[in-house]
């Protein structure tokens, strides 16, 4: 096994689950996320020899994944809604046990969070998910999305303002 093969296996081991979670959240279906993950891994394997290390491996993988996801959404012209039962807390799509204290409340909270996030523009939704869901740094998100760090910070701030406003409006009722 060559050095590139070992590096690629390490990338898959260290980042594939997070990449899949991001793709699932963005594309909204397990089938599309699996296709996008396969394409992302193919592109990463083909480009690994050219990876210069200008950013972290995780940011590089997320850049590839974001480009693949955008292409899939542009080509398909659709965004399927996620099925709430497919969404794990970690975004992987794997089932997780419901909270023993309030399983119905946990499902509703997850459903509401998904619904509110879906209202964000796609770039901002990607940034929020990478920053909050995957706990990437602002710099990693910026590298992955190909935008300045200030743009990422602005997107996150505006998204949080929009989400807080939506929650406050719903709390007040009609």
CA atoms within 13 A on the CB side of 20: 20
pLDDT category at 53 given cuts 50, 70, 90 is confident
* Per-residue pLDDT at 46 exceeds 70: yes
pTM here? 0.62
Distances (CA, A) of 117 to 3, 81, 108: 40, 12, 14
Does residue 144 or residue 94 have the better pLDDT?
A: 144
* Per-residue pLDDT at 86 exceeds 50: no
Dump pLDDT digits (tens) for 125-173. 889 888 887 888 999 899 888 899 999 999 999 988 888 888 788 777 6
What mean pLDDT comes out for the span 69-92? 54
Residue 38 is predicted with a pLDDT of: 92
Taking a C-beta distance cutoff of 8 angstroms, is the pair 149, 140 a contact? no
Give dist(CA 128, CA 173) in Å, integer: 26
Pick one of 1.10.1740.10, 1.10.3470.10, 1.10.10.60, 1.20.140.160 as the CATH number of 3-172: 1.20.140.160
pLDDT category at 76 given cuts 50, 70, 90 is low
């Amino acid at each position: 096994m060559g050095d590139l093969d070992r590096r690629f296996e390490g990338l898959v081991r260290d980042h594939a689950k997070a990449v899949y979670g991001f793709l699932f959240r963005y594309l909204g279906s397990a089938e599309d996320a699996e296709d996008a993950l396969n394409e992302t891994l193919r592109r990463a394997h083909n480009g690994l020899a050219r990876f210069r290390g200008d950013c972290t491996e995780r940011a590089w993988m997320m850049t590839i994944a974001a480009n693949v996801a955008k292409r899939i959404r542009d080509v398909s012209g659709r965004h399927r809604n996620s099925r709430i039962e497919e969404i794990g807390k970690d975004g992987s799509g794997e089932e997780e046990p419901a909270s023993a204290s309030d399983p119905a409340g946990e499902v509703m909270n997850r459903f509401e969070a998904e619904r509110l996030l879906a209202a964000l523009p796609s770039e901002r939704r990607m940034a929020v998910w990478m920053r909050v869901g995957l706990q990437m740094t602002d710099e990693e998100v910026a590298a992955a999305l190909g935008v300045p760090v200030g743009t990422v910070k602005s997107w996150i701030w505006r998204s949080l303002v929009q989400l807080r406003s939506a929650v406050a409006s719903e709390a007040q009722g009609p």
